[in-house]
Structure formats: structure tokens, C-alpha cells
Amino acid sequence: MSDSANVIDQSTPSIARVYDYLLGGKDNYEVDRAVGDHFKLNLPGSVAIAFTNRQALTRAVREMAGAGLTQFLDFGSGLPTADNVHQVAQRVNPDAKVVYIDNDPIVLAHGRALLATDANTTVIHADVRDSTEIREHPEVARLIDFGKPIGVIFSAILHHLNDDEDPQAVVRYWAEQIPAGSSVFISHFRSGDNAETIEAESKLQSTFGRGRWRTDAEIEALFGELVLQEPGVVAAARWRQSGPADGAAPQIGSADRDLSVWEELIVAAIADKR
């Protein structure tokens, strides 16, 4: 890997660091906080979206591990936070193996520090669009056995691929690589055809040149021929939520905002390869 891949640009906002800021993390810079503050002040439900997505991811990993999956690929993993994928999976199976993939060098730096003593977990610097490069990466080869079922995670990453980058083809590639018995988790911004989603999409596009809110039908299409588990594609806040939330999201800070509107703007689902 070239040295340039490890350079952290503090002058340009990063999706991973903005997300970290919305979750209350400290691994971000002023330029990231400026973008995050725009969402907090003008689209305050963004904080609830970040938290409900993280909670849905935790439930997804717990369920996949509980169903017997012992190896995971986490695309667009973001910065370490509470209840990371390997921690959730290893509570179910201490030998669970996880490969985190992200294209932000700060994720690589923090991930390596976190995982220095965990031989079953690694983080690699790669772009989710570079499927073949990831598939052939030596760390993936070291930890992941493609002859055995795998949990593939696309948590809040595919909506950062524009239509011309063909996110459906990304999912299809990995669906073809994994054997029967594997599962794919996707969470994704859902279009509400309202001012909130239009404003949020506009802000992401103007800041990062990417960010696409999709309809239920478009999100379901991402799964291709994989078989959706019940209840299908639903709001992340309600997905597999049979009891109290896994940690409460902070108040959104505006009494005239209806939190339920925001909770509908990110959805989640798991599908299986049979």
C-alpha cells in the first residue's frame, strides 16, 4: 500500500468522521464537525438516523452469529465505536472472524490500534467498488474461507454509491462469491419524497459528490436473487426490534419535529443465499 493511502486529509470532510461525530465520537476534525453541525441544526433527525442504524447493525450481527455464521465481511465499516461487529459476533462465538473494509485512512489507523491483539479480526484499506481487489487481498484470504457461509455487511454504505457506480453490481459480485447458507445485511437511506430527504441528499452531494436516497423497490432490488428474511425491508428502528432499543438515541432537539418521520428514512434487511 502506498504511503499516500495512509495520509489523513484534515482539510476535507470524511463520511466516516462525520458519522463518528453524529454518534458522539471524538475521532473527527473541525471540517467534519461543520458538516455534522449542518445536519444536527437543520436536519436534527440525522442523529436519530445514525443511532438507529447502528442499533440495527448490532442486532443483525447478533442474529447472523446466532444462526451459526462465524465469519464476516464489513464494507464501509467506519470508525470503531461501541459494540463493533467483531465484539458482537465474538460474544456469540469467540472464534468469529471479521474483516473490516473502509477507504478512509483514519479508519485503518484506529482499526489497527484496536485490533492489534486480535488475530481473528483485521481492517483493510480499500474501496467498496473495488470488489476484485478486496476478494484477492491477502488479509481476506487469511481470515475468510469462501467455502463456508459468510455474513456480508453493507451498513449505511450503498447509499454513498451513485446510480452510475452500480451498487447492485457490488452486492451481486459478493452474492456470487459466497456459498449457500450465507447472509447479506443492508441498511440504506430511504427516500421519503419530502423536504428532509431532498435537503439531506443535496447536502451530501454538494459535500462529497455522492449520496442517494432510494425507494423501497430500489433497495429491495439491491439484494438481487438473494431471499429476503422476514420482515423484509423496513425502518431500521423497527427491524427485528422485539424489545427496548439497544441504547437510546439522543433527543433530536426540536419539539416540532416528529421523530417517527426520521426513523422511516433509513431501512434495514437481511437476505440469504440458498
**pLDDT value, residue 248:** 44
The vertex-78 CA angle with 98 and 219, nearest 5°, equals 90
Where residue 134 sits, what CATH number does that domain have?
3.40.50.150
pTM of the shown model: 0.85
Give 10-residue mean pLDDT values along the chain (274 residues). Answer: 54 82 85 86 78 93 98 90 89 96 84 81 94 97 98 95 95 98 96 74 76 91 98 94 52 44 86 98
First-to-final CA distance of the chain: 36
The total of structural domains in the chain comes to: 1
**pLDDT value, residue 6:** 55
Can you tell me the distance from the alpha carbon of 196 to that of 157, in angstroms, rounded to the nearest whole number?
19
**pLDDT value, residue 48:** 83
**pLDDT value, residue 247:** 47
Pull the grid cell for residue 13. Answer: 470532510
Can you tell me the distance from the alpha carbon of 113 to that of 106, in angstroms, rounded to the nearest whole number?
11
Q: Which domain holds residue 219?
A: 3-272
**pLDDT value, residue 254:** 39
Contact 123, 102 (CB under 8 A): yes
Contact 75, 153 (CB under 8 A): yes
